[in-house]
Amino acid sequence: DAGVIQSPRHEVTEMGQEVTLRCKPISGHNSLFWYRQTMMRGLELLIYFNNNVPIDDSGMPEDRFSAKMPNASFSTLKIQPSEPRDSAVYFCASSLSGQGGTQYFGPGTRLLVL
Amino acid sequence: EDKVVQSPLSLVVHEGDTVTLNCSYEVTNFRSLLWYKQEKKAPTFLFMLTSSGIEKKSGRLSSILDKKELFSILNITATQTGDSAIYLCAVRTGSSNTGKLIFGQGTTLQVKP
């Protein structure tokens, strides 16, 4: 089992640039979650999908953030334009309905916006 | 507003000590409480608790939930340096099969030799 796959693992960009983070959930899982983790705010849920449909995006900080899940095996989180305060580790997690909320996390993407 | 609060925020102990980490919550539509361990990378799953008073155990780690008082504890006995990590508590809410997880701030545990 490959686990949740995220890319890139590290991203350094300049303020104003577009950033796209990618996630491949565990095969067969039908729920996908995007989180952001910072020292100041801890781990925050940004958005989650169930069967490729966004269920709750109330954690998305601003219109600069958008997420898509075009199919069951791929999701993107896009930041446009990026700002220094977006610097954080972004985690993707997936779960299987009926497991009662056990989410399996990817390795994370460490984003630094200069 | 749903919230999950962990205490202490940080803890330093010596190998062999026993530690108790606390997690209290105020949420609507509680479904389950989960504990995760995060070392240098992503969180890894430890326990899921849904019923009060039933202890879950894995080696030196154990956890229990009190749904009346709205809290959970995570115990680690005979701590080892490898237990050093951030321990995250999360509460699952929502009416769907998966819902969303609300995380506490985490407790940073450092175990000294």
pLDDT tens-digit map of A46-81: 998 989 999 888 889 889 999 999 999 999 999 999
> Does B103 sit within 8 Å of A33, measured CB to CB?
no
Which of B98, B102, B103 has the most A C-beta neighbours within 10 Å, making it the best mutation to test the interface with A?
Answer: B98
Answer yes or no: is pLDDT of B92 > 90: no
Asked if A114 is an interface residue toward chain B (Cβ–Cβ < 8 A), one would say: no
The pLDDT of residue B41: 82
Q: CB–CB of B91/B32 below 8 Å?
A: yes
The 10 Å Cβ neighbour count of residue A19 is: 21
> Does B102 sit within 8 Å of A43, measured CB to CB?
no
Tokens of A91: 């985690």
DSSP-derived letter for residue B69 is: T
Q: b vs e for B14-30, b when ≥16 Cβ sit within 10 Å of the residue's Cβ? A: eeeeebebebbbebeeb
- Residues of chain A in contact with residue B88, where contact means CB-CB under 8 angstroms, are 43
Which residue type does A108 have?
A: G
What does the pLDDT average to over B55-61?
93
